[in-house]
Amino acid sequence: MTQEELLRLPKVELHCHLDGSLSQEFIEKRLGRSVKKEELSVSDDCTSLAEYLEKFDMPCQCLKDEEGLEEAGYDVLKSMSREHVCYAEIRFAPLFSETESMSCKKAMEALIKGLERGKQDFAIEYGVIACAMRHIGEEENWRMIRDARELLGSGVCGADLAGAEASYPMSQFMNLFENTRKIGMPFTIHAGECGSVDNITDAVNVGAKRIGHGIAMRGHEDVIRELAEKKIGIEMCPISNLQTKAVSGPEFYPIREFLDHGVRVTVNTDNRTVSNTTLTKELEFIQKTYGVRDEEVLLLMRNAVDAAFASDTVKEKLYRKLAEK
């Protein structure tokens, strides 16, 4: 597809972090000062995950009150509307926004308020994914997930586990997500972004319907086959993964391998501002680099609808939009 065709394509995004996707305009307004683009985004020669994570300090300062969260929700959908995203799942860690005057439930409600305004103005359906964090204790994470469960279907669509995967493997969180499954909360798990394929199999065994990144499955045909058979969605974020050196070079990125094995692959931005990317740019990149065909781009969007934590009504609407292409 041409760049213009990719831009006009109705898009579905399942893996987009709020703090890493806020516009420069929004951050400047909230901080009350001008900010250089290089303070918010990594360059093409980013050397590590540590360098990448430095770019989150400034946006996180903007998410410490209800007004900031509401405006952030509106801001991210406004950015997405410029490239015809029609459904987005926005993830954030409510415990990071919690203050003495704002509980994590209030933080979620404030974000939802802004997203709801964005939905009305830009005709984008949305869901919020509440992230538990690996370095935070189980009790706090469980409290947050229970709060998020109260908002399931009223803006929240699921839960996630994010943070330093190498230091905190999935095996430490089996109880937390067994309980999450028991209360009827759908969830995805950041797994296999770093080396261990065991984090992916543990996540699936405890009930994850989707895997964030999943690149450690590369070369593990048995695991790839299992996830394809179980129709587990894989939220791939190509540009971000190359920037953080999750793989040592583009030739080691397994999107072609996963697609050829029938895995339910989806393509996402991860962090629009930090990675200086859009869904259009990601699709253009995989077509150019991995020979992803036009019909496969449409398959990636249908896969995203299949894997979305959305209602059947919303999914039907999205399938119809894609069928018009």
> Strand pairing partners for 125?
87
Q: What is the DSSP string of 210-269?
A: EEEE-GGGTT-HHHHHHHHHTT-EEEE-HHHHHHTTSSSSGGG-THHHHHHTT-EEEE--
Contact criterion met (CB below 8 Å) for 112 and 154: yes
What does the alpha-carbon distance between residue 165 and residue 191 come to, in Å, rounded to a whole number? 7
Distance of CA 200 to the CA centre of its chain: 16
Q: Residue 285 has which token pair?
A: 């990149």
Are 107 and 98 spatial neighbours (Cβ–Cβ below 8 Å)?
Answer: yes
| Residues forming a β-bridge with 233 | 210, 264
Task: Evaluate whether 21 touches 307 at the Cβ level (below 8 Å).
Answer: no
Query: What's the whole-model pTM score?
Result: 0.96
Kindly list the domain boundaries of the chain, sorted by start residue: 3-310
Q: Specify the pLDDT at position 26.
A: 97
Residue 43, pLDDT score:
85
Helix axes 24-31, 66-81, angle to 10 degrees: 160
Active-site residue flag, 193: yes
Closest by CA position to 318, among listed 305, 309, 307, 308: 305
- Residue 85 β-bridge partners: 11
CA 4, distance to chain mean position in Å, is 24
Of 83, 193, 235, 284, which residue is the catalytic one?
193
Contact 3, 284 (CB under 8 A): yes
- Both tokens of residue 157? 């669509």
For the chain, 325 residues long, the average pLDDT of each consecutive 10-residue run is: 93 98 96 92 83 89 96 98 98 95 96 98 98 96 98 98 92 98 98 91 98 97 98 97 91 97 98 97 97 97 98 97 86
pLDDT of residue 205: 98
Q: For the sheet containing 85-92, what is the strand order?
A: 11-17, 85-92, 125-133, 156-162
Q: Which CATH number fits domain 3-310: 3.10.20.740, 2.30.40.10, 3.40.640.10, 3.20.20.140?
A: 3.20.20.140
